[in-house]
Amino acid sequence: MDTIVAIATSPGRSAIGVVRFSGPQSLSILRSLINDETFQPEPKRIYLKQIVRESGEALDSALVSYFAAPHSFTGDEMFEVSCHGSPVILRRVLDQAQNLGARIAEPGEFTLRACKNGKMNLTQAEAVRDLINSQTDAAAVQAVRQLNGELSAALQPAKEKLIQIIVRLESALEFVEDDLPAIQIEELKKELSNVVTNVERLAATFAAGRALRDGIKVAIVGCPNVGKSSLFNRLVGMDRAIVTEIAGTTRDSISESIVLRGVPVLLTDTAGIRDATDRIEEIGIQRTEQAMADADLLIVVIDGTAKLSSDDRAILAKARTGKQVVAINKCDLAAERQIDAALRDTSKVVHVSALTGEGLDNLAAVILEPLGTFDSEAAGVLITDSRHYDLLRRTVRSLQESDGILSQSASEELVLVGLHNALRFLGEITGETTADEILGEIFSTFCIGK
Ligand code: GDP
């Protein structure tokens, strides 16, 4: 096995920079780096040592910590050197380590080794990556839950039940000459349907989980002067967009990242849609249409003090994709009665005032509603990864196929094929049955040094 090395801290200058090693040559490399062939470190103790250049001159004084196998992150022998965080020094340590026989680690290779050595399963390894990448506190909470094994634990009952069903069916096949009696088939179907319900319930958390991890794109659209930029500024919490009473001032789309109840949101303010009066405005409107196509959700802003214009109606029609929320703005002023009646059959309507902030809580709730109910404190673990989601859906499909075959009283062997597939899909989530090339693909999305 190679001994791998990587800089574990982010590139650039910093107070401290950490170089990490894992593999059987760790101790010998460490001894050479500090030029002390007799050095006998106690595991998990920290030593202040001089790192020495190949010429014999001092390179840096650094803190060195050593971890004996199997009690390390990777499960192999490891050590870490905390140097001063100069890229020149860190690079020098890497070069010398390579001369001493270490190889630069691939992205995620430390965690891959941890996985292969049984220190964690695949979902936990993925949680390490997600934790490092988390954009919000709520996303970090989810990642830590997964790291602590909550996702694997949530899958466990379905797996155990499936194994029970498989064992029963297999032994029935061995000992029973005839087909399974109807009563047993009914029983099996009931148990299978319970497993399907559980797996589906977990899969259904993906809308919330994905939003929490990757965020959602929300575009504010509407006619000029209805208050789009004011609403954008309110939501962003600062005066980012230019607000004027002159129609058509926002000529380009601008975006800002915000956090709405723990969910990262990329909010885009767009140029008002109307028949453009000049070329620049025309381009702005084209960009608006692009932003509308890209968005996960549209906030269609309507001026609540004026009658619904034909432009308003055109935008509402354009946005009618099931992913829009209508915000009737300026509710601090006298309302135009005709509007509510005109929007009666539009499902999601909220009254807001970008000026006073009234109704914005309501707006946030409506924006997040399609993601399903998730209260990151109270809810269980969420599915945040499309790989997991896809495998859960394949599990459900496979189980449903088996159920169909059972209903037709067709061959038990065929029923078993579906059940075994379902079990394999669940196993792929936690990495028990994941092919090496898929593992490679997953770990390539990790940082170097993790
Ligand atoms: P946009 O063209 O749609 O981006 O609209 P702006 O945000 O530039 O706002 C147009 C005008 O409406 C400005 O004079 C704002 O001050 C005013 N306005 C926006 N929202 C509100 C609101 O909620 N209440 C009131 N009274 N005025 C508003």
107 or 438, which is more confident: 107
Q: How far is the CA of 9 from the centre of ligand 1 (A)?
A: 46
Nearest CA to ligand 1 atom 25: 330
Determine whether the shortest distance from the Cβ of 227 to ligand 1 is under 6 A: yes
Determine whether the shortest distance from the Cβ of 354 to ligand 1 is under 6 A: yes
Determine whether the shortest distance from the Cβ of 228 to ligand 1 is under 6 A: yes
Give the range among 51-65, 105-119, 215-229, 314-328 with minimum mean pLDDT: 314-328
347 or 315, which is more confident: 315
Determine whether the shortest distance from the Cβ of 229 to ligand 1 is under 6 A: yes
Determine the distance from the C-alpha atom of residue 397 to the mean position of all C-alpha atoms in its chain, rounded to a whole number: 24
HEC string of 392-404?
A: HHHHHHHHHHHHH
How far is the CA of 74 from the CAs of 70, 108, 110, in angstroms? 8, 11, 6
Q: What is the pLDDT of residues 392-401, one digit of tens each?
A: 999 999 999 9
Provide mean pLDDT across the span 281-288.
71
Provide mean pLDDT across the span 432-438.
80
Q: What is the pLDDT of residues 248-257, one digit of tens each?
A: 555 567 888 8
Q: Which atom of ligand 1 is nearest to the CA of 248?
A: 2
Q: Can you spell out the DSSP letters for 50-108? A: EEE-TTSSEEEEEEEEEE-TTSSSSSS-EEEEEEEE-HHHHHHHHHHHHHTT-EEPPTT
Q: Indicate the pLDDT class of residue 126, thresholds 50, 70 and 90.
A: very high
Contact between residue 305 and residue 336 where contact means Cβ atoms under 8 Å apart = yes
Full-model pTM = 0.76
* Distance (Å, whole) CA 427 – CA 376: 26
Provide mean pLDDT across the span 73-79.
96
Q: Which residues contact 122 (CB under 8 A, 6 or more apart)?
A: 115, 429, 430, 431, 434, 439, 442
Q: How far is the CA of 347 from the centre of ligand 1 (A)?
A: 24
Per the DSSP assignment, residues forming a β-bridge with 18 are 82
Q: Of 144, 154, 188, which is closest to residue 169 (Cα–Cα)?
A: 188
Q: How far is the CA of 228 from the centre of ligand 1 (A)?
A: 7
- Check pLDDT > 90 for residue 246: no
- Check pLDDT > 80 for residue 378: no
- Check pLDDT > 60 for residue 169: yes
- Check pLDDT > 80 for residue 317: yes
Determine whether the shortest distance from the Cβ of 224 to ligand 1 is under 6 A: yes
Q: Indicate the pLDDT class of residue 130, thresholds 50, 70 and 90.
A: very high
Q: What is the pLDDT of residues 411-433, one digit of tens each?
A: 778 889 999 999 999 999 998 87
Nearest CA to ligand 1 atom 24: 330
The listed range with the strongest mean pLDDT (248-252, 378-382, 441-445) is 441-445
Q: Which atom of ligand 1 is nearest to the CA of 243?
A: 8
Q: Which atom of ligand 1 is nearest to the CA of 245?
A: 14
Determine whether the shortest distance from the Cβ of 314 to ligand 1 is under 6 A: no
* Distance (Å, whole) CA 288 – CA 272: 8
Determine whether the shortest distance from the Cβ of 330 to ligand 1 is under 6 A: yes
- Check pLDDT > 90 for residue 336: no
Q: Which atom of ligand 1 is nearest to the CA of 301?
A: 3
Q: How far is the CA of 327 from the centre of ligand 1 (A)?
A: 13
Provide mean pLDDT across the span 315-334.
86
* Distance (Å, whole) CA 235 – CA 256: 10
Q: Indicate the pLDDT class of residue 409, thresholds 50, 70 and 90.
A: confident
Q: How far is the CA of 328 from the centre of ligand 1 (A)?
A: 12
* Distance (Å, whole) CA 81 – CA 354: 53
The listed range with the strongest mean pLDDT (61-65, 223-227, 243-247, 340-344) is 61-65
